[in-house]
Structure 1
């Protein structure tokens, strides 16, 4: 059996190979706060190297501590780093993991999520049916089959509770409410709004800007949110030439949504693998020129909502 501990990065190192302080102040640990922490902010593929130190190279993973619950949004390579961190923080781990869709940059960290191999831990895993009809359980199982991976999902000794959801689902976890909408018909991607005690965080990171319905759904989801996490740093979602360095981007759509929805803070996420730190600095400067209360997500960044 594969030793999962041998295939994970140290919990304080990102894929650029540089230390990151991921520790929360004591008053922001799991409890009565509403806290968002970024563990992976990159899209498509991990980007290790000296040119991505400041923003980080791990793919999408965001942790939300809210109402005594731990929510995890997407399972890119940042999930591996989060997993080792959790093992040092608590003897028993329980979390609700929400997948937007099953492109590799959203699921590739799941086989390396060490807490899932530990008996006594519990994970509730939510996701929509993929375009090929596969459930979230089937998608996560398939990527761990030979010859892709040496250890099958069935070797995970934690309790895994898979829940199939769809656009329009409303999930209540005690007093935390998670609403879902469709953002992209081509990928079956969902957007999430997490609400607790009158505060809301919206995670909308695979929007098809060519679809009016997707934009209308996003506008509904983002209305008066405290934070909108948005996929605004790709030059063109339909352009798969990742070497293209164009800074002409759909982030302008994110600003339009944030303004129209009266969003308090806009966080751009899902950074293009072709964009190094200097390119992202330039993008952030342009964005803040149009929407001062906006910034780009960075690995290790913490937002305290309440």
Structure 2
């Protein structure tokens, strides 16, 4: 397993500049900014859980890590508007639209004093994360090219299995978790704390892949928090009879890996608030320390 290190100056923020996440004063804190898979679903039926596509922020030992850039990334960017010389690390699980569509609206990317480190692996067509982000901002898809972003953008291509060291104390481990989607899972370690972010678990397509199964287990073994997905495939509403099919993969993984807490995200576009309320009750009957992600959810990672 190969490694690479990212070295950069420390950024010191005063309290007046603190975002909601920083104000929690935790050494390792997670906030959910987007919870949907496939497509954003703003409506009166999704107000409680949220309708933005996936985006998760982690504030770890003074460092800001962002996982996926769905439409939730826009609101995250708005919360950072008062920062000076912002530094952030953006990790993409894949290059599908629901993972990158918020990037053109990430306000900090347009501020010259900011520094953004962007990580991704090759897409299913072999395009790099830089190329995928660049292409979605070309005419006729978007009115302004990526070059209008004035912050310092540093793109880092990696191969699945590489380990990324951020100033030595925050360690990000990667693995391929879905062959069809070319999706990456991440594990963030700092001191004795750990969070895994795996939002493309598949029930069937990788069932016979020993290497993928091993990578998933390595990322999730004993973590304090696992952020995962339900495994849906068809674009139709779920019924009660489908509960086990769509949720058992993540629940079984959490049980088998000794996960301390499980948060299920990437909600299907057809899953309204009432449906998700019912799911919340059912998953907690199987895994007591489980809950469904909702926008604004903040989780402190500790041993309590």
**CA deviations over 1:20-76 (Å, ceiling 9, x no partner):** xx8347342xxx610000000111111111110110000000000002110000000
Tell me, yes or no, if the aligned pair for 2:30 and 2:56 is still in contact at 8 Å: yes
Does residue 181 (structure 1) correspond to residue 181 (structure 2)? The answer is: no
1:289 to 285, 292, 299: 285
Does residue 113 (structure 1) correspond to residue 101 (structure 2)? The answer is: no
In 2, Cα distance between equivalents of 1:121 and 1:91: 7
In 2, Cα distance between equivalents of 1:33 and 1:67: 5
In 2, Cα distance between equivalents of 1:216 and 1:68: 31
Tell me, yes or no, if the aligned pair for 2:116 and 2:153 is still in contact at 8 Å: yes
1:154 to 147, 163, 166: 147
Specify every segment of 5 or more residues in structure 2 that has no aligned partner in the other structure, as ranges: 1-18
**CA deviations over 1:108-133 (Å, ceiling 9, x no partner):** 00011111011110100000001101
Which position in structure 1 is the counterpart of 2:41? 47
Tell me, yes or no, if the aligned pair for 2:22 and 2:59 is still in contact at 8 Å: no
| Alpha-carbon shift at residue 247 of structure 1 (Å) | 3.5
**CA deviations over 1:264-297 (Å, ceiling 9, x no partner):** 0011010000000011111111110100110000
Aligned positions of 1:240-251 closer than 5 A: 241-245=235-239, 246-251=242-247
| Alpha-carbon shift at residue 244 of structure 1 (Å) | 4.8
Aligned length: 277
The two structures have a TM-score, normalised by structure 1, of 0.87
| Alpha-carbon shift at residue 252 of structure 1 (Å) | 1.1
Tell me, yes or no, if the aligned pair for 1:200 and 1:227 is still in contact at 8 Å: yes
Aligned positions of 1:1-306 closer than 5 A: 23-24=20-21, 26-28=23-25, 33-88=27-82, 90-174=83-167, 175-210=169-204, 211-212=206-207, 213=209, 214-232=212-230, 234=231, 236-237=232-233, 239=234, 241-245=235-239, 246-306=242-302
Tell me, yes or no, if the aligned pair for 1:242 and 1:273 is still in contact at 8 Å: no
Tell me, yes or no, if the aligned pair for 1:222 and 1:261 is still in contact at 8 Å: yes
| Alpha-carbon shift at residue 257 of structure 1 (Å) | 1.1
| Alpha-carbon shift at residue 176 of structure 1 (Å) | 0.2
The two structures have a TM-score, normalised by structure 2, of 0.88
Specify every segment of 5 or more residues in structure 1 that has no aligned partner in the other structure, as ranges: 1-21
In 2, Cα distance between equivalents of 1:63 and 1:215: 26
More displaced stretch, 207-216 vs 74-83: 207-216
In 2, Cα distance between equivalents of 1:181 and 1:27: 30
More displaced stretch, 242-251 vs 135-144: 242-251
In 2, Cα distance between equivalents of 1:147 and 1:178: 36
Tell me, yes or no, if the aligned pair for 1:207 and 1:215 is still in contact at 8 Å: no
In 2, Cα distance between equivalents of 1:125 and 1:25: 21
**CA deviations over 1:147-199 (Å, ceiling 9, x no partner):** 00000001100000000012101000020000001111111100000000111
| Alpha-carbon shift at residue 208 of structure 1 (Å) | 2.1
